[in-house]
Amino acid sequence: MEAVLGHLRGAIERGDYAIGDKLPSEAELCRTLEVSRPVLREALRALQTMGLTVSRTGKGTFVVADAVEDPTFGDYAASDLLEVRRHIEIPVAGYAALRRTPEDLDHLAHLLERMERETDTTAWVAMDTLFHLAVAEAAQNPVFRRVIEEIRDALARQSAFLNELGGRREQSNREHREIVEALIDGSEPDAVEAMSHHLDRVETTLTDIVRPQRTDDLPTEGGPEA
């Protein structure tokens, strides 16, 4: 899927498909790129998330931009989502470290164990959103949970996007474990740091996908390293 996405994204950014152009039909793209329809549809969904295309029912997929600016996950732009998450989830983790109950810790530990065993992306993504909801619940403030519930769909879409294109699952599991360990220790500073680190890595991976380093930006052999 990454190869198909890279091919289509490159064609759009080069102008092979200009703004306003309709992409070839799914059947034609499958034949040309020699991929299955499910793989192609994943790539087309990623193009739409990146804001490069829009799908119009019964008409096809059309190019609406020639450069990726700010991906959209459900109703929210990635930059808006991350800004809110930093202001909500980082302090929430601190409150959770101070207020969590034994039941909260058991629930989080169970979720974490299931996520570390899970190999199916869809199932893992569902548990990822449950994990962040559980941290909010551990803060013992229903308003925090309500906020996370409001952005839950966007979180799931972002999580799937980062896992499909950024291979985030194992790294995210490690970051989640650091959060849970801080909550077990009841350490507010450690919980705040662990959640901050987690969101930093989310932002870094997203940036790497949206603005990948070009080959001609890489150091030449024997030259200085970046």
Its pTM stands at 0.79
Distance, CA of 138 to CA of 148 (rounded, Å)? 13
Q: Hey, which residues does 54 pair with through a beta bridge?
A: 62
Nearest of 202, 181, 173, 175 to residue 96 by alpha carbon: 181
pLDDT tens digits, 57-91 = 888 899 988 888 888 898 899 999 999 999 999 99
pLDDT tens digits, 192-223 = 999 999 999 999 998 888 876 554 443 444 44
pLDDT tens digits, 116-151 = 999 888 899 999 999 999 999 999 999 999 999 999
Q: Which of helix, strand or coil describes residue 76? A: strand
Q: How far is CA 16 from CA 26, 49, 190, in A?
A: 17, 20, 49
Pick one of 3.40.50.300, 1.10.10.10, 3.40.1710.10, 3.30.70.20 as the CATH number of 2-63: 1.10.10.10
**Domain 74-210 architecture:** Up-down Bundle (1.20)
180 vs 55, more confident? 180
pLDDT at 225 over 80: no
Q: Residue ranges per domain, the chain?
A: 2-63, 74-210
